[in-house]
């Protein structure tokens, strides 16, 4: 099963980027074929319908293709002011926007509809980013994704990783593995696109 893993952050020392790396490693151990996508590798402007009318940016098309090519995703979302970050919202807004006149991409939900999505978060606080998850899940539903009921919010993220960037506690790795397993199992059973 092909699995797309990405974090809603481009910060070098981001706990959610570290968590995404761990997800990819754990998914590979579970037999999946993970692709670790770095949003910082794409030049995506803030969504603007006037800009879109001039033509969908090339890196947005690359993102659409990457997301469409994977039947399952795992998103690691930071929590900023009690919600998910603008980077993640902007990415999903562009990916779900139709490309007018394009026979393949004229349906805006082509890259998102039917995807099985697992949601994780990491935060230095005690809740581990639960509020960001609670805001992100309705957006994913609106994009016609199937969101896995199992989630994981990594609290106290500043001390949750060892010097090599790995999760320091076996319990945290087991919680991540539970989400990975549920996403893979659901994608297999649902025959996600």
What is the set of domains in the chain, with CATH numbers?
Answer: 2-190 (3.40.50.360)
175 pLDDT higher than 80: yes
Distance, in Å, from the CA atom of 63 to the CA atom of 40, rounded to the nearest integer, reads 11
Distance, in Å, from the CA atom of 193 to the CA atom of 114, rounded to the nearest integer, reads 6
What percent of the residues of the chain are helix, what percent strand, and what percent coil, each to the nearest 5? 40, 15, 40
193 pLDDT higher than 80: no
**pLDDT tier at 48 (50, 70, 90 boundaries)?**
very high
59 pLDDT higher than 80: yes
Report pLDDT for 41: 97
Backbone φ/ψ region at 76: left (φ over 0), alpha (ψ -120 to 50), beta = beta
To the nearest whole number, what is the mean pLDDT of the chain?
Answer: 96
Report pLDDT for 191: 84
Distance, in Å, from the CA atom of 112 to the CA atom of 92, rounded to the nearest integer, reads 9
Segment 136-143 shows an average pLDDT of 98
Entry pTM:
0.95
């Amino acid at each position: 099963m092909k699995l797309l893993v990405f974090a809603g952050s481009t910060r070098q020392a981001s706990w959610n980027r570290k968590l995404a790396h761990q997800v990819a490693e754990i998914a590979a151990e579970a037999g999946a074929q993970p692709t670790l996508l770095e949003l910082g590798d794409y030049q995506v402007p803030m969504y603007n319908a006037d800009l879109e009318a001039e033509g969908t940016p090339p890196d947005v098309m690359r993102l659409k293709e990457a997301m469409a090519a994977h039947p399952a995703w795992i998103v690691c979302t930071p929590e900023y002011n009690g919600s998910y970050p603008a980077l993640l919202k902007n990415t999903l807004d562009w990916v779900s926007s139709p490309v007018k006149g394009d026979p393949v991409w004229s349906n805006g939900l082509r890259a998102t509809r039917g995807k099985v999505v697992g949601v994780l978060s990491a935060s230095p606080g005690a809740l581990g980013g639960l509020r960001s998850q609670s805001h992100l899940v309705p957006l994913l539903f609106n994009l016609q994704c199937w969101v896995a009921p199992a989630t994981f919010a990594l609290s106290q993220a500043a001390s949750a990783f060892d010097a090599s960037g790995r999760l320091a506690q076996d319990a945290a790795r087991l919680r991540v593995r539970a989400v990975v397993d549920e996403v893979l199992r659901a994608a297999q059973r649902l025959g996600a696109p």
